[in-house]
Amino acid sequence: MNRKNKALAEAAALRVLPKKIPGAVGGRGRMSAAQVRTSVTALIAVAVTEGARLAAACAVIGISARPCQRWQGEGQGIDGRILRHEAPGHRLSSAERAELLAVANSAEFGHLPPSQIVPRLADPNRYLASESTFYRVFPSAGQLAHRRRERVSRKRAKPRALAATGPNQIDSWDITYLPTRVLGLYFYLYLFVHVFSRQIVAWQVYAEESGEHAGRLVEDLCWREGIVPGQVTLHADSGGSLKGSTMRVTLQTLGVMPSLSRPAVSHDNPYAESLFKTLKYRPEYPLRPCADRAAARTWVTTLVRWYNHDHRHGAIRFVTRGQRHAGLDAALLAIRHDLYAYARLKNLLRWKRQTRNWRRVTVVHLNPDKADKTEPNEPGNSIEKQTAVNPLMRQVA
């Protein structure tokens, strides 16, 4: 019993210790500040007084027992090591560094990187320094920077995370090519899709890519759906016609909030990209190029009708886009849930786990900050709750 009490006391002392550590303690070979050493030794002393072993307390903090004993001993925790920064004896002298910079900035080598300068100097039997030494000298002289004439590349931030809980909140759109019989000429398919319902709500085929065409489609979409200013966010790629001045003015006039992808990052606009692949991999996709715009529009009309009202989408529990956009999916999924629960009660031996998840997807994310986990099964799949909801299943049970 005494050993058990000691173990419990040690566990209690060690459980509180990580919450009081003053920041990060230096690792192997690193010198810790005097204030950190004093705080650590005081915390370890308290933990040892409360019943923890010295080695266990030090392990929680991330140091060995020997440095702690040394800190608690001589000098009251003062580290005896001396911080000395000695320059290497074989470093370049001031004259050699000046010669290296003069050669690197000369008319012959000023436009070349060190990987080109060093081999060219070796041809006339001249050696100044290695490539790595060139790169070590350049920062001290402020010369390791972008030297070309084009704009310096900059890091692009991820588009802000968006979430839709119903239709007409987030729309995504893009433009794709449709081949023609003339090599090098294309028709342009404009497609607008609701992120929440995945339904295609606007489309058109044009002979050119233009922000004016896109603006007219957005105006027509807002009029048909009854969208008010500030209601919907429109996400698009960073193409010229997708973010041009004409499109920006149209969105500002309609009160539509814009959202843009990063350049050359296709998965920032995943709903439009996956929609294009689904349409172009259909068996109905024409094997030969379209003869004219009328033929292209006829094909797109048939495909959009199939996509919206026939195809079941797995991410929205295998209902059609039209059903989800109209709000009919909740009743359909409830019927499926009752059917599966009734089938399970009829033969429990065939169902080792819960029934299939037919719970309605209530939130759809676009460019979330963190990957969302798969939604769990509906917390009503137990036999007791299912029989309480459906009287027919209560009779079978």
Question: What DSSP string describes 345-371?
Answer: HH-GGG-SSPPP-------EEES-SSP
187 shares its domain with 268? yes
Q: Which residues does 211 contact at the CB level (< 8 Å), separation at least 6?
A: 240, 241, 242, 244, 245, 246, 247, 250
Helical spans, DSSP H, in 154-285: 211-225, 240-243, 245-254, 270-280
Q: How far apart are CA 113 and CA 109, in angstroms?
A: 8
Q: Which residues does 222 contact at the CB level (< 8 Å), separation at least 6?
A: 232, 254, 256
Q: Identify the DSSP state of 228.
A: P
Is residue 323 in a domain? Answer: no
180 shares its domain with 241? yes
Comparing 51-65, 108-122, 168-182, 204-218, the range with the smallest average pLDDT is 51-65
Q: Do 356 and 159 touch, CB atoms closer than 8 A?
A: no
- Return the residue matching tokens 């000429």: 185
Q: What is the pLDDT of residue 82?
A: 63
pLDDT digits (tens, 9 = 90+) for 142-159: 888 776 677 777 777 888
Q: What is the pLDDT of residue 31?
A: 67
Q: Identify the DSSP state of 174.
A: E
Q: What is the pLDDT of residue 39?
A: 80
pTM above 0.75, yes or no: no
Is residue 84 in a domain? Answer: no
Report the residue count for the chain.
Answer: 397
- Return the residue matching tokens 């436009």: 111
Structure tokens at 390: 């459906």
Q: Any idea what the CATH number is for the domain that residue 261 is in?
A: 3.30.420.10
Q: Do 182 and 266 touch, CB atoms closer than 8 A?
A: no
Range among 84-93, 141-150, 320-329, 361-370 rated most confident? 320-329
Q: What is the pLDDT of residue 254?
A: 93
Structure tokens at 322: 């039209």
Is residue 306 in a domain? Answer: no
Q: What is the pLDDT of residue 84?
A: 64
Give the type of residue at 279: L
Q: What is the pLDDT of residue 71?
A: 77
pLDDT digits (tens, 9 = 90+) for 70-114: 777 655 545 555 666 677 888 899 999 999 999 999 999 988 889
Is residue 150 in a domain? Answer: no
42 shares its domain with 103? no
Q: Do 231 and 169 touch, CB atoms closer than 8 A?
A: yes
Is residue 231 in a domain? Answer: yes
235 shares its domain with 350? no
Q: Which residues does 244 contact at the CB level (< 8 Å), separation at least 6?
A: 211
336 shares its domain with 378? yes
Last residue of a domain, one of 275, 293, 311: 293
For the beta carbon of residue 197, count every other beta carbon within 10 angstroms. Answer: 26
| Number of domains composing the chain | 4
Q: What is the pLDDT of residue 25?
A: 62
Is residue 333 in a domain? Answer: yes
Q: How confident is the model at residue 11 (pLDDT cuts 50, 70, 90)?
A: confident
- Stretch 278-306: mean pLDDT: 90
72 shares its domain with 116? no
Q: What is the pLDDT of residue 137?
A: 92
192 shares its domain with 259? yes
Last residue of a domain, one of 140, 171, 194: 140
pLDDT digits (tens, 9 = 90+) for 240-251: 777 788 888 999
Q: How far apart are the first and last CA of the chain?
A: 51
Is residue 185 in a domain? Answer: yes
Comparing 39-43, 179-183, 370-374, the range with the smallest average pLDDT is 370-374
Q: How confident is the model at residue 223 (pLDDT cuts 50, 70, 90)?
A: very high
Structure tokens at 260: 């843009």
Residue 59 lies in domain: 2-77
11 shares its domain with 124? no
Residue 380, pLDDT > 60, answer no
- Return the residue matching tokens 């009919």: 328
Q: What is the pLDDT of residue 391?
A: 42
H/E element, 71: helix 65-72
18 shares its domain with 57? yes
Structure tokens at 33: 């500040």
Residue 118, pLDDT > 80, answer yes
Of the candidates 60, 276, 23, 65, the residue with the CA atom closest to the CA atom of residue 172? 276
Is residue 284 in a domain? Answer: yes
Of the candidates 36, 73, 41, 35, the residue with the CA atom closest to the CA atom of residue 54? 41
166 shares its domain with 285? yes
385 shares its domain with 288? no
